[in-house]
Amino acid sequence: MDDLPGGPEVGTHAVRLAPEAGQDALFAGLPAQFPAQLVHYQSVLRLPQRAVLLARSAMEPHQAFRVGGCGWGVQFHPEFSAQAMQAYVDHVNGPHDATVSATPDAASLLGRFAAMVAARD
């Protein structure tokens, strides 16, 4: 990891799926591009060995990835509501011209993941 070259990525931004996401158990069925809540100051410079890239954004080439059959990593925050994101933006001092909106597709990953775990029991 290292500092994000373009500065922090804060607010609601577009996340674009990689082609491999269409075959992924968690990401399949999501739109090719969807809004997500982003708060990060650093960048993933290199994915773990054998990781599969699943999504990127304009500033971050590694927004989501999978290692193996059931290990996912995301840079964006599916757990943040628009209200939580707005509270963060309001709290942060500095020049953050952040746009905030609802992110239902990103948030759906939480329920999808919970359903996958429940199905394995």
The owner of tokens 């599916």 is 78
pLDDT digits (tens, 9 = 90+) for 71-112: 999 999 999 999 999 988 888 765 567 889 999 999 999 999
Q: What's the confidence (pLDDT) of residue 1?
A: 61
Domain residue limits at 31: 2-120
Residue 23 has what pLDDT?
96
Query: What's the number of domains the chain is made of?
Result: 1
Amino acid 96: pLDDT: 61
Q: What's the CATH code of the domain at 88?
A: 3.40.50.880
Listed as own residue / partner, the contacts of 80-85 with beta carbons closer than 8 Å and 24 or more positions apart are 80/37, 80/39, 81/107, 82/12, 82/37, 84/37, 85/11, 85/12, 85/37, 85/39
Average pLDDT over residues 15-23: 98
The model carries a pTM of 0.89
Lowest mean per-residue pLDDT among 17-21, 42-46, 70-74, 113-117: 42-46
